[in-house]
């Protein structure tokens, strides 16, 4: 099946909800009926496609936000963002529940400085749009402080060592 996830806009500039979407496209030679197909993430959020056709060469955006469906835009009508800003896997499944495609994304992490003689590491996250978030973590990955990113307070913490989570204040 040549219906694929082309891209996931999971961390748009500004507020996530208005700019979050998934782009799917078709390289099939004939139109494909997407009725009862599903987009799903690792957390179990599920979008079920309405009675929609995707034509050869067509791209469709599936928006998280509220909106009115048209030929090239489908709306999940959610009031909260779905796609994790750090990493996730998006699954595209057909009407029989078979995975047609999956799209994995991960924000790139890097150490920028090791504080010798201490158990703390400067820790940074670089996003695709060039923003950088910095904080201190101890040797097992627990957070030492909070930071300010682009004028917005952001708190980082670790549910388990080396599995980062964050939440705006």
Angle subtended at Cα 124 by Cα 154 and Cα 140, rounded to the nearest 5 degrees: 95
164: confidence class by pLDDT, cuts 50, 70, 90: very low
Look at 52-56, 78-82, 149-153 and tell me which has the smallest mean pLDDT: 149-153
Measured torsion, CA atoms of residues 25, 31, 37, 41, in degrees rounded to the nearest 10: -10
For strands 73-75 and 59-63, give the pairing.
parallel
pLDDT tens for 18-45 read: 999 999 999 999 999 999 999 999 999 9
* pLDDT confidence of residue 1: 79
Residues in the chain: 169
DSSP string, 44-86: --EEE--S-EE-TT-EEEEESS-----SSEEE---SS--S-SS
Instruction: Report the CATH fold assignment for 3-106.
Output: Immunoglobulin-like (2.60.40)
Q: Is the pLDDT of residue 100 over 90?
A: yes
pLDDT tens for 122-153 read: 445 555 554 555 555 444 444 444 443 444 44
Q: Above pLDDT 90, what percent of the chain? A: 56
* pLDDT confidence of residue 159: 39
* pLDDT confidence of residue 95: 97
Q: Is the pLDDT of residue 48 over 70?
A: yes
Tell me the domain boundaries of the chain.
Answer: 3-106, 108-168
Measured torsion, CA atoms of residues 163, 113, 14, 40, in degrees rounded to the nearest 10: -20
* pLDDT confidence of residue 124: 53
């Amino acid at each position: 099946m040549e219906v694929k996830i082309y891209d996931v806009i999971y961390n748009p500039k500004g507020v996530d909800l208005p700019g979050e979407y998934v782009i799917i496209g078709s390289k099939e030679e004939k139109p494909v009926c997407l009725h009862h197909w599903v987009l799903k993430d690792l957390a179990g959020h599920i979008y079920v496609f309405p009675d929609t056709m995707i034509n050869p060469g067509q791209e469709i955006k599936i928006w998280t936000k509220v909106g009115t469906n048209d030929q090239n835009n489908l709306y999940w009508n959610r009031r909260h963002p779905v796609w994790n800003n750090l990493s996730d896997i998006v699954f595209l499944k057909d009407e029989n529940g078979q995975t047609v495609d999956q799209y994995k994304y991960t924000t790139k992490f890097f150490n920028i400085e090791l504080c010798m003689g201490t158990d703390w590491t400067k820790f940074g996250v670089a996003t695709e749009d060039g923003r950088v978030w910095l904080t201190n973590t101890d040797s097992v990955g627990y957070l030492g402080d909070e930071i300010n990113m682009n004028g917005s307070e952001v708190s980082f913490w670790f549910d388990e060592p080396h599995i980062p989570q964050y939440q705006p204040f």
